[in-house]
Amino acid sequence: MTALQPVRGTRDILPEEMRRHRRVVETARAVAERYGYQEMAVPLFEFTEVFSRTLGETSDIVTKEMYTFAMKDGEQLTLRPEATAGIMRALISGGLTHQLPLKFFFAGPMFRYERPQKGRQRQFHQIDIELLGVAEPLGDVEVIAVGSRILEALGVRAKATLELNSLGDPQSRAAYRDALVEYFSDHRDRLSDDSRTRLERNPLRILDSKDEGDKRLVADAPVFSDYLNDYSRDYFARVRAGLDLLDIAYEVNPRLVRGLDYYTHTAFEFVTTQLGAQGAVLAGGRYDGLAETLGGRATPATGWAGGVERLAMLLDDPPAAPRPIAVIPVGTASEAAALRLSEELRRGGFIVDLGFAGNLSKRMKRANKLNARAAVLLGEDELAAKVATLRDLDTGAQQRVALDRLAEHLAQFS
């Protein structure tokens, strides 16, 4: 029955995988906090214009991948395909520009209607860092450093290579755009249909084309570095010097670009070869023109987004499930006391599983299935003596412990 299956491009995240996701998000949150980034959230959906203006009317995301729906009043709303546009909208609509500079951390689900692939479903999850109101190269260095330290803390930094490029200032970008138009115009008849459209409206997007014929043309296309002016070259040199100072290894990739005009200067990606063709696990750059695109005042900004699913797949081992304490009543007469004791232990900070039903053997089997660290057995004899039988489920050793000292003895198992 179709209704009882997950919608194509979505999937259930069961506990073992959820522990991987939590490790990624909680590690990222903790590292970002050390750099002064405060967590915030934006709505799951925005007015469609927020994304169509920022992602580009001709982009694949806007034309093919957004989940857009109409409200009863005719307003068009879209499930967020990424976080940056919503965060910048919040800066403008929330009147936060007088508080600049601002540092934000964000984590949550995104939605894109695209072919489901390894590490990217139609509903997927991202972590996100945004540094708003900082124009200096050190801002780029810091957001890259945050990403690198998160990967280190996850134990996956050695599995990813940092690729870096400069998109220059608007003047450099305009010069490069002209060079691309001239080059691709000479090969118009060999371009894909999509890239012919891009040639008229946004030639930099041709560089991201997945068409094999386009890729062959891109291989011989002009490179950005040949069109950087002195200011842009100096800016890029200062970013690289900052990364060198922090011992953050990188490779310059002259083909790494961002298609929209509000991107400037630094573009970067952490890429891996361990996930097949989908190698980018964390990517970003400087987007000084985004606020103006949304109708706000010019605001320098830089940041990145990372794929939670892809990062989770790179973890060597899933974090182990916490080992609970099993509280097991022996006989129905002890169930009320076991219920009360379980709640008291939880309030004391212990993870407790209460055996709900079955004889002693069945409840012990459940404790073993849960990989419980210890079992607290309560029978009529124990209750009469105000004690519990405490069994170490790793060694089998057991002892009787006074109930008022039980938490003290359980501390060795937590």
164 touches 252 (CB < 8 A):
yes
Q: How many CB atoms within 10 Å of residue 10?
A: 15
**Pick among 3.30.2130.10, 3.40.50.2300, 3.30.479.30, 3.40.50.800: CATH of 325-413:** 3.40.50.800
Model pLDDT for residues 21-49, shown as the tens digit of each residue: 999 999 999 999 999 999 999 999 999 99
Identify the helix (H) or strand (E) that includes residue 107.
strand 102-111
- Cα-to-chain-centroid distance, residue 169: 28
Scored b (16 or more CB within 10 A) or e, 334-370 reads: bbebbeebbeebeeeebebbbbeeeeeeebbebbeeb
Q: Indicate whether 2 pLDDT > 90.
A: no
User: What rounded mean pLDDT belongs to the chain?
Assistant: 91
The yes-or-no verdict on residue 259 having pLDDT over 80 is: no
Strands 161-166 and 251-252, how do they pair?
parallel
Q: Which amino acid is at 51?
A: F
Grade residue 278 by pLDDT with cuts at 50, 70 and 90: low
Q: Rounded CA gap, 33 and 121, in Å?
A: 28
**What long-range pairs does 93-101 form, CB within 8 A, spacing at least 24?**
97/133, 97/296, 97/297, 97/299, 100/132, 100/133, 100/299, 101/131, 101/132, 101/133, 101/134
Domain ranges of the chain: 2-169+247-314, 170-228, 325-413
Count of other CB atoms within 10 angstroms of residue 256: 21
Q: What is the pLDDT of residues 50-82, one digit of tens each?
A: 988 877 665 666 667 888 999 888 899 999 999
The three-point CA angle 345-27-133 to 5° equals 130
Per-residue pLDDT, averaged over 164-176, amounts to 93
Spatial contact of 372 and 347, defined as CB atoms under 8 Å apart:
no
Q: ∠ CA 331-332-337 to the nearest 5 degrees?
A: 95
The yes-or-no verdict on residue 326 having pLDDT over 60 is yes
Q: Is the pLDDT of residue 342 over 80?
A: yes
Residues 308-329, mean pLDDT to the nearest whole number: 91
Give tens-digit pLDDT for 216-229: 998 889 998 999 99
Q: Look up the CATH superfamily of 2-169+247-314.
A: Bira Bifunctional Protein; Domain 2 (3.30.930.10)
CA distance 382 to 410: 17
